[in-house]
Structure 1
Amino acid sequence: MTDRFGIEDLKRILREGAGGASELEGDIQNASFEDLGYDSLALLETGSRIGREYGLEFEDTAFADVETPQDFVDVVNAHLLSTPAHG
């Protein structure tokens, strides 16, 4: 298991859970999730999938303020770094 979560990891999980592969091409780091076609429900599902895959527990509001894929990646990495098994 890796200690870093990246944009490519996020793209993979978004595709698996919420679809929308065409919106995920190219440099999406700073695009808004709204522009990419993802709503808050899709982001909650994505957070749940990441939690299961990486053994993380996120608070219900962990992704409430994320607006871009980079914001999402930053939240996941902060949790990875603060989890004893990873950091």
Structure 2
Amino acid sequence: MSEFTLTDLTDKLRECAGEAEDYDLDNDDVSEVPFLELGYDSLALLQVTGVLKRERGIELSDDEVIGVETPRALLQLINTALSVRGA
């Protein structure tokens, strides 16, 4: 499977938890903006990762997900899970 991108993640965030606050997810580089600043809490992240598990088989522990603070960190977890699954 190909790498999960920032665009993929922002699309899922929108789908599961709505539009970001004060940021344009399509045009702003939000990779290092804390999720809380974007308006997404841990429940929103868990909802996104639950959808990823159902749709793509990407399994992440709730503790890992709750511990991430930025989209870049979540992307690293997702892509690591994808590479382990693909190995």
TM-score norm. by structure 2 comes to: 0.86
Percent of aligned positions with the same letter in both sequences? Answer: 38
Higher helix share: 2
Instruction: Please list every run of 5 or more consecutive structure 1 residues that lacks an aligned counterpart in the other structure.
Output: none
AA of the residue aligned to 2:33: A
Match of 1:51 in 2: 53
Match of 2:44 in 1: 42
Return the structure number with greater relative CO, CA threshold 8 A, min gap 6.
1
Match of 2:70 in 1: 68
Q: Give the deviation of 1:20 after TM superposition.
A: 1.2
Contact 1:3 1:81 in 2 (8 A): no
Instruction: Please list every run of 5 or more consecutive structure 2 residues that lacks an aligned counterpart in the other structure.
Output: none
Runs of 4+ in 1 over 3 A off after TM superposition: none
Which deviations, in whole Å up to 9, do the C-alpha atoms of 1:9-65 show, x marking residues without a partner?
001101111001563241100000011000110011011111112112222212121
Write the distance in 2 (CA, Å) between the matches of 1:12 and 1:59: 21
* Bigger mean CA deviation after superposition, 45-54 or 32-41: 45-54
CA RMSD of aligned residues (A): 1.5
Number of positions where the alignment pairs a residue of Structure 1 with one of Structure 2: 84
Match of 2:12 in 1: 13
